[in-house]
């Protein structure tokens, strides 16, 4: 049986020079392994999920200024003891 890939949520920032070609950049991100959820042209951001091993490849694409992995937080259920 194949292992299920564990993907992480990321926020990709696009540099200002590549904003006019946002559609092309979204396609290159997909080719690098990003499952795109939203592409926000006005904000210059792309959100989605990706295998953590592919983040370095994604961050090296021309036009990408930053790739930030989402942080996950958890809280105990209301009925649990105070911690």
pLDDT digits 0-9 by tens, 7-39: 999 999 999 999 999 999 999 999 999 999 999
6 torsion bin: left (phi>0), alpha (psi -120 to 50), beta (else): beta
Q: Give all strands (DSSP E) within the chain, no chain letters.
A: 8-14, 35-40, 45-50, 64-69
Taking the C-alpha atoms of residue 37 and residue 17, their distance in angstroms, rounded to an integer, is 22
**What is this structure's pTM?**
0.79
Are the C-beta atoms of residues 78 and 17 closer than 8 Å to each other? no
pLDDT at residue 40 tops 50: yes
Residue that wins the pLDDT comparison between 83 and 75 = 75
Contact between 34 and 58 (Cβ < 8 Å):
yes
3-state secondary structure (DSSP) of residue 26 = helix
């Amino acid at each position: 049986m194949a292992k299920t890939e564990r993907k992480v949520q990321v926020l990709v920032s696009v540099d200002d020079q590549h904003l006019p070609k946002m559609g092309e950049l979204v396609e290159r991100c997909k080719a690098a392994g990003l499952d795109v959820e939203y592409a926000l042209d006005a904000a210059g951001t792309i959100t989605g999920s990706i295998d953590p091993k592919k983040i370095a490849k994604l961050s090296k694409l021309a036009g990408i200024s930053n790739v930030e992995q989402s942080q996950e937080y958890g809280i105990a259920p209301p009925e649990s003891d105070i911690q």
